[in-house]
Structure 1
Amino acid sequence: MAQVISNSGHDDMIHDAVLDYYGRRLATCSSDKTIKIFEVDGDQHRLQETLKGHEGAVWCVSWAHPKFGTLLASSSYDGRVHIYRESPSTLPSTPATWSQVFASTLHTASVNMVSWAPPDLGCLLACASSDGQVSVLEFRDNQWGHTIFQAHGMGVNAVSWAPSGGLPGAIARKAGSDGQTGGVRRFVTGGSDNEVKVWQWDGQQSTYTQMLSLPDGHTDWVRDVAWSPTLLSKTYIASASQDKSVKIWTSTNPGDISSWQLATTLRDFGDAVLWRVSWSLSGNVLAVSGSDGKVSLWKENLKGTWECVREITE
């Protein structure tokens, strides 16, 4: 019988909590080295599964698009990335089962974040590590492959994919006769070298190459980055930093290095170190959270000025 749970069931601090594509499942992860999956029904949560296997704190969980099945990726202080899959039950009376289908051991230090690419680019998972490298795992031809490259000298804290459709205002192109999608594989990373960098897939070199380091950047560690998910008239990248500021860059043509400009620096956060930035699905509202437990929502007005439209406190 479903019941409201007053606590998470974790034995230590929770680091991430993410709803799946349909909003019916909640995955949480913790310093207790476990991941818990809850079924969500209105305001009720029912624990469905506890996933084990990591040997350190689990920092991040991320659901793949449902076109690839029910896949959940996790990253941990143990330097590993795990991918779990739910298999439907064969009998109506028995529950579905979860199993670990892949473990990446490419990194030599904590993996701080994992992020799935837009689904029309393929089954791609970017992983940001304190060893300074980014790896991109790809499931093709029934097996997992990878690309790994040096990204930030002092460690990578965050990664976020660009929307796949190309130019802002454009509709994503359909796959060509060769089955390849028309979208561009591109993402942004934030590092402990205070830099925010944009990367793009180079098919000739079979790796991701740095397009640019965004101008007028931070003066301390970059804790999070977020590329706006919707192709509006402009595309936006936001970053949150240990320097207690959020920066927002814009471009009307993301493939043109010279088109990226710093639009604004938000500093109205008191003494809070800023941990996370996240765009709404519509791509025009930015949520910012920090060490003070507050979440603020920011929106650009008609004059191009970003203003706080709401603040949520615990």
Structure 2
Amino acid sequence: MSALAASSASLSLSADKPKNIETQHEDMIHDAQLDFYGKRLATCSSDRTVKVFDIVNGAPSSTGETLQGHQGPVWQVAWAHPTFGDILASCSYDGKVIIWKDNGAASSSSSSGPYGSTSGAYGAAPSTAGGWSTIKEHALHTASVNSIAWAPHELGSILACASSDGNVSVLTFNNDGTWAVDIVSAHPIGCNAVSWAPAVMPGSLISAQTGQPGSEAGKVMKRFASAGCDNAVKIWEYSDEANRYVEVDTLQGHTDWVRDVAFAPNIGLPRSYLATASQDRTVLIWTQDSPSSAWTKTALNPTNAASTAAPNKFPDTVWRVSWSVSGNVLAVSCGDGKVTLWKENLKGAWECVSEMDA
């Protein structure tokens, strides 16, 4: 359950022992995600199902709702921002992305969000039944969809999907209830992960305070990173002139498949942080001091690797990286079953501050 541990670990530096959860999945669990308020937990598995649990007094309910619709292992789940209602997306080896909506009466936002049951969003007929229903099935990819990520809610309802066919598809929900799809040819031999950058322009907070001419304070941008089987990480940004997403940077630093990528939250400070995890057993922290400067990289150095012949190497493949909400703590999930938490000290070095066994 390393994905579950990573999801929980990214929230706190608490040394409390993690709680084991009996999900009743019949095969390996690949991902677990809490919703925005921490009131629901979604899990997905090789048993082709997604399960959703209510969190009561800090613990999941004993029974969860089972969502069925995929024909292969389900790799990842992602909650939309509550602005858009109780919306959950899932992606699978079957090449499909399914977007689910909770029609339950207890749903706090189902009637007010743009996907509410009274709106008939996504072209789906309004539903009066309780429980979860499928409101969008995206099946344009020709191979496994390995990763999904919702864009910052300031940009609207936008979902990026990374696939083994080498493409990233970007789904944008329009006000008329239709979807627009942008296809980005990202990594020729396969794309493993995708992550959106914060919507706020880096440095906009400083620019607003100093009142610099031409300040970009308040400006939002559509930018995401993709990680591929070509050992590269690419940064993409939407160009109004080209009317599509264009590649603005390629980050080379890993020697094997890049398994995950994660932008750190940003409140408008100049520096941007991007974490990448690889099958080469390394985690790299990429920093960009300003939007126009080059990216620089720093490798995390596990304590047990400091005195060995393999510095900066974790014991096994590093599968997932996840930032805390404030963006100052990074959780790293490794193939050895351990989750480590990392922070940057005042000297700019990254230190392991906690370690947990999954």
| TM-score above 0.5 | yes
Q: Partner of 2:242: helix, strand, or coil?
A: coil
Task: Say whether 1:294 aligns with 2:328.
Answer: no
Q: Shift of the alpha carbon at 1:233?
A: 4.2
Task: Say whether 1:311 aligns with 2:346.
Answer: no
Q: Partner of 1:249: helix, strand, or coil?
A: strand
Question: What is the aligned counterpart of 2:232 among 169, 179, 195?
Answer: 195
| Aligned position for 1:155 | 190
Alignment of 1:229-308 (within 5 A): 229-231=265-267, 232-254=269-291, 256=292, 258-262=293-297, 264-268=298-302, 269-308=313-352
Question: Relative to 1, partners in 2 of residues 1:127 and 1:45: Cα closer, same or farther, differing over 3 Å?
Answer: same
Q: TM-score, normalised by structure 1?
A: 0.90
Question: Relative to 1, partners in 2 of residues 1:27 and 1:6: Cα closer, same or farther, differing over 3 Å?
Answer: closer
| Aligned position for 1:74 | 90
Alignment of 1:159-198 (within 5 A): 159-168=194-203, 170=205, 182-198=219-235
The unaligned stretches of length 5 or more in structure 2 are 1-18, 107-127, 209-217, 303-312
**Superposed CA offset, 1:205-226 (max 9, x none):** 22111001024x1000000000
Question: Relative to 1, partners in 2 of residues 1:211 and 1:65: Cα closer, same or farther, differing over 3 Å?
Answer: same
Q: Shift of the alpha carbon at 1:229?
A: 1.2
| Aligned position for 2:248 | 211
Amino acid aligned to 2:240: G
Alignment of 1:7-156 (within 5 A): 7-46=22-61, 47-89=63-105, 96-141=130-175, 142-156=177-191
**Superposed CA offset, 1:224-276 (max 9, x none):** 0000012344110010000110011111223x2x43222x1124254311001
Q: Shift of the alpha carbon at 1:109?
A: 0.3
Asked if 2 retains the 8 angstrom alpha-carbon contact of 1:5 and 1:45, the reply is no
Q: State how many pairs are aligned.
A: 298
Amino acid aligned to 1:265: A
- More strand by percentage: 1
The unaligned stretches of length 5 or more in structure 1 are 174-180
Q: Shift of the alpha carbon at 1:43?
A: 4.0
Asked if 1 retains the 8 angstrom alpha-carbon contact of 2:270 and 2:290, the reply is no
Asked if 2 retains the 8 angstrom alpha-carbon contact of 1:172 and 1:182, the reply is no
Amino acid aligned to 2:265: P
The percent of aligned pairs where both chains have the same amino acid is 52
Asked if 2 retains the 8 angstrom alpha-carbon contact of 1:238 and 1:249, the reply is yes
Amino acid aligned to 1:143: T
Asked if 1 retains the 8 angstrom alpha-carbon contact of 2:256 and 2:280, the reply is yes
**Superposed CA offset, 1:57-113 (max 9, x none):** 0000000001011110000000000000112439xxx99421000000110000001
- More helix by percentage: 2
Q: Shift of the alpha carbon at 1:49?
A: 1.5
Q: TM-score, normalised by structure 2?
A: 0.79
Q: Which has the higher contact order (CA 8 A, sep 6+)?
A: 2
Amino acid aligned to 1:273: T
Q: Shift of the alpha carbon at 1:168?
A: 3.5
Amino acid aligned to 2:151: A
Q: Partner of 1:307: helix, strand, or coil?
A: strand
Question: Relative to 1, partners in 2 of residues 1:212 and 1:106: Cα closer, same or farther, differing over 3 Å?
Answer: same
Amino acid aligned to 1:25: R
Amino acid aligned to 2:333: S
Q: Partner of 2:205: helix, strand, or coil?
A: coil
Cα distance in structure 1, aligned partners of 2:230 and 2:59: 42
Task: Kindly report structure 1 stretches of 4+ aligned residues shifted beyond 3 Å.
Answer: none
